[in-house]
Amino acid sequence: MKMLIALFTVLTLNISYAEQGDLSLSFTPTSSENKSIQSIGLYLANECYEDVYVVTRTRTYNGNWETRGYFRISPGYRIYDTTMSRNYFYLHARTYDGHIRWDGPYNIEFNGYNLKARLIELPGGASGDWTIRLICN
Region 84-102 average pLDDT: 90
pTM of the model: 0.78
What torsion, rounded to 10 degrees, do the Cα atoms 39, 131, 68, 109 define?
A: -110
Q: Quick one: pLDDT at residue 31?
A: 53
| Confidence bin at 52 (pLDDT 50/70/90) | very high
pLDDT at 27: 75
Q: Are 137 and 19 in contact (CB under 8 A)?
A: yes
Domains of the chain: 24-135 (2.60.40)
Q: What is the pLDDT of residue 30?
A: 61
Q: Tens digit of pLDDT for each residue in 6-36?
A: 333 333 333 344 588 887 777 776 655 544 4
pLDDT at 2: 45
φ, ψ for residue 36 (rounded to 5)?
A: -75, -15
pLDDT tens-digit series, residues 75-86: 999 999 988 878
Confidence band of 60 (pLDDT split at 50, 70, 90): confident
pLDDT at 1: 44
**Mean pLDDT score, 85-105:** 91
